[in-house]
A and B are shown apart, each in its own frame.
Chain A
Amino acid sequence: MRQITGNKLLVRALKEEGVDTIFGYPGACTIDISDELYKQNDIRVILPRHEQALVHEADAYARTTGKVGVCLVTSGPGATNLVTGLATANYDSVPLVCFTGQVARHLIGNDAFQEVDIVGITRSITKYGVTVRRREDLGRIIKEAFYIARTGRPGPVLIDLPKDVMGELGSAEYPKTVNIRGYKPNTSVHMGQLKRAIKMLKKAERPLFLAGGGVNIARANSVFTEVVDKTNVPVVTTIMGRGAIPTNHPLFIGNLGMHGAYAANMAVSECDLLFSIGTRFNDRITGKLHAFAPKAQIVHIDIDTASISRNIHVDVPIVADALEAVTKMNEYVEPCETEEWMKQIKQWKEEHPLTMKNRAQMGPKDIIDEMNRQFDDAIIVADVGQHQMFVAQYAEITEKKQLIMSGGLGTMGYGFPGAIGAKLGNPDKTVIAVSGDGGMQMNIQEFATAVLEELPLILCVFNNEYLGMVRQWQKLFYGKRYGMTNLRAGALYRRTNGEQMPEYTPDFVKLAESYGAKGIRVTKKEEIAAAFEAAKKNEKVPTLIEFIIDPEELVYPMVKPDGTLEDMIMDC
């Protein structure tokens, strides 16, 4: 039988798995794999400029295509640079297969050059991780990795590849089937439980759907919308669930949680049945646990048993894939009497609509409103911070739009590489990144990747010269002591009391131009529309639009830290 090296088998396996794009950064331990990839044309190899950006790119690629994102990095620092991205993907249930180089087997444990125990380091932030110790296991392990990554609750899988194992000759066969005795994900719905839940929905006087990221991951949005239409039951979403039904749908109330809409948080507090799908009741959405949905019975559908009844006591637990569950629901649900309930919700909406003070100065909402007007077929990638919350509150996510962000881990620096990954996976869609001046600088080197791959991204930077979200807490709860959040602070600032500063640090427009991208600076409301129009015309290069924002703009409402959902600060 013909024998091939592990390196060749890896490339063959990628093709069999239908991988069309791989995000890779080379090094001594993976140079042979780079060589095999060089010899073929089926898999496109993207070279980001930092491994952290690399894994975010693969992550966003996966989130926006539904395929498994694939990373290849070298041993040691290449591998450790994946850590933040793996944790990001793990929290948000993103399917990734990450190959890390490793020193040869006889060197493992010797503190060899660029040797780290990456499987050990990432054990608690991956769904599965393994070092390939025998050449004959390689095919099976890769096959299992893709299967584990994409099934059940998706997640990142790490495969560590010692250089000598990869150079060894062995079978050219790539297995066709998988059988892992300890891993049998269950997706089918327990119909008895589901029917019980549906009965409760019908009986409830103030029923409420809570949709989390699981609805989006399972691509259950359109069926879920049908269920909502049939039942007339209103919907709140987590920020990861935004878009589970179109945000302009009359039954959509808003996001719940720390920066949720007033009406949404009130609806959760007053409902008598909370029918939740694909959420893990994270502390940012529940507020104080004992006071969360105090009047409601709770139904919880989730693919992960361990997410059910962990934070919140659940009355009807249902372990199932969201799409399967919602599809089955669609067969059985009946219209519910929700007129009175909707009236109440409408009243809450009118009492405290989700809005920002209309000032003469340009505010975040003005920018996002314009974005809503100009783009109805787009992927929006948010970074982390105030701008992320503004986007989560105001961005309209309708059928042809998708919003992605680092929701669970809250990883600053996700936005820009996320946009690159999204665009590579969806060349026909407009991809807009929204970042702050802090997050943008965490992966700014990716301009090189974006420019050379000719990606016409629209990169919005909300620049307020501060790390705004932390500053917001300092303003509200720390007596306006802005420790560590002033992005202009330093010796010059201290010496001149902030009076003799360079105009910009950095000058984002010049920075973009230095990479060969376009840069536009917007300081007034009237310039917003034109800036987006100009960006749309740049078909082969990314456009950075820097919006100069007042740091005093805060995200409201805000549930007080450790407060209950009803305890919201509306404005100050």
Chain B
Amino acid sequence: MSSPFQKQETKMVPVPSHSIVPERDVDKAPILECRHLGIDFGGLHAVSDLNLAIGRTEIAGLIGPNGAGKTTVFNLLTKVYQPTRGTILLDGMDTAGKTTVQINKMGIARTFQNIRLFSNLSVEDNVKIGLHNQEVYSTASGILRLPSFWKKEKEAHERALELLSIFDMQDMADMKAGSLPYGAQRRLEIVRALATNPSLLLLDEPAAGMNPSETAELMENIVKIRDTFQIAILLIEHDMNLVMNICEGICVLNFGQVIAKGTAAEIQANPAVIEAYLGKKKEG
């Protein structure tokens, strides 16, 4: 808490990244703002001096070569790692010292690069676990089967089916999550994250392992989720077709540092990005 970096923060250095917030969100405060965010693992600066702002209803992309620190950024945002330096503002509130659970309640939900569903629970129960943090907690009414319990249970059941219907998965509600096909498991992870009622959804490689038609469907769904829930989405993805088509702002990481920020067209034309992905052009 007493690090010198906190003192710096009081100066409120202007963040250059505002330029990538889509126009409709510019007049509103960004949902997420990272200022000089960084983390060290031993001597390695896994992420350093990350400045990022995401608009209220923006779909933003975080790309970069393998090992660039993209998932580390997600882990920082969800407080799986506590940052070594810098500030994360969620809806204008400093998240310093918050726990993972508190962050989830404050409005960040995520999916995982390698699927981490509760595979022995039913599809519906997976979604209901996501719904938990919005319900008033009462074990007693659950055990005693009080009328209020049945009412809540019915509401949760309906809400779960409604969320599953985004991906046309309501028929799978009673199946074991672990027995679903791969693509459906990825979609269920998104539904489970949405169930926690986030204002910012973090998707870690949502299209990994999907075929082109599944990816196309996923792209439609990501846009649909943004439009329906009016939330911001930050995604990590290697599928450039997906990123370039649906992301309004793109941030490129390499070796833990932001090397470029901008729209799809700007990123594609950026020499630093091309170099990071393809290597240096031979001189002459």
**Does B associate with A?**
no
Identify the A interface with B (CB < 8 A): none
Identify the B interface with A (CB < 8 A): none
